[in-house]
């Protein structure tokens, strides 16, 4: 089973922040890091999960209502650790580049399911092509719940690695053909097809669970049982507990 850091090490550190990504990069056998990207009011690519800033910062409102400068003024508190700020996608690539060179993967989720962010696919690919070598580009996966976003990624970059997100693996499989995705990204409890039907597919399952500053329940996943369902990879908030 391949282990991914979901928004970095997001159980012990604030999600999608420099410290969460740095802690994830310390994990030698980590398959990759997953993160989320949206656009600011002035068209800058930023790494943040929620469409609103309320949950993770002291701000109020939608990400798309903030300019980059305004977003950078917000704080992401981390208890006794230094306060974090919202990262741009470019800053994040600079931070992760050395580990990407050694084979670690990066899953970029385009947060276009609620608000489509016109032009985000082109902006993201242009940034990746400008900042990354072809070798690193091969380690990057693009995912979204919004199939049209992935269709645009495929049109703009025929070589892009694409993972289709949905609740049920059957729905992922149906959408995969339409947007020419390479992998299925279902909810871990949405495995409604037999393992045999999934042979030959990469199946990266996402989970919910506690995020910083919530406390872990201490429970552990049975990774062997998940593998028997056809799951090949898992996105975890606590990857350090499994590596």
Identify the active-site residue in 6, 75, 139, 210.
6
Lookup: tokens for 48: 């943040």
Q: Can you give the three-state secondary structure of the chain, one letter per residue?
A: CEEEEECCCCCCCCCCCHHHHHHHHCCCCCCEEEEEEEECCCCCEEECCCCECCCCCCCCCEHHHCCHHHHHCCCEEECCEEEECCEEHHHHHHHHHHHHHCCCEEEEEECCCCCCCCCHHHHHHHHHHHHCCHHHHCCEEEEECCHHHHHHHHHHCCCCEEEEEECCHHHHHHHHHHHCCCEEEEECCCCCCCHHHHCCCEEEEECCCCCCCCCCCCCCCCHHHHHHCCCCEEEECCHHHCC
Task: Determine the Cα–Cα distance for residues 87 and 72; give it in Å rounded to an integer.
Answer: 8
Is 75 known to be catalytic? no
Is 49 known to be catalytic? yes
Identify the active-site residue in 49, 75, 139, 210.
49
Give me the active site residues, please. Answer: 6, 49
């Amino acid at each position: 089973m391949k282990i991914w850091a979901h928004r970095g090490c997001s159980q012990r550190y604030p999600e999608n922040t420099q410290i969460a990504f740095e802690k994830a990069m310390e994990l030698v056998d980590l398959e990759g890091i997953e993160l989320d990207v949206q656009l600011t009011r002035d068209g800058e690519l930023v790494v943040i999960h929620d469409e609103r800033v309320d949950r993770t910062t002291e701000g109020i409102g939608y990400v798309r209502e903030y300019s980059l400068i305004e977003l950078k003024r917000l704080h992401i508190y981390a208890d006794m650790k230094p306060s974090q700020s919202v990262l741009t996608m470019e800053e994040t690539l600079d931070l992760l580049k050395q580990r990407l060179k050694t084979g670690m993967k990066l899953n970029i989720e385009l947060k276009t399911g609620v608000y489509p962010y016109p032009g985000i696919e082109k902006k993201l690919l242009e940034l990746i092509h400008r900042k990354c070598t072809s070798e690193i580009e091969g380690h990057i996966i693009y995912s979204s719940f919004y199939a049209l976003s992935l269709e645009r990624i495929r049109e703009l970059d025929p070589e892009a690695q694409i993972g289709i997100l949905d609740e049920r693996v059957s729905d992922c499989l149906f959408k995969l053909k339409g947007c020419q995705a390479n992998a299925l990204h279902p909810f871990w409890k949405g495995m409604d097809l037999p393992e045999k039907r999934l042979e030959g597919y990469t199946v990266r399952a996402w989970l919910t669970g506690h995020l910083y500053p919530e406390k872990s329940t201490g429970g552990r996943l049975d990774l062997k049982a998940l593998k028997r369902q056809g799951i090949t990879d898992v996105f975890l908030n606590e990857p350090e507990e499994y590596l």
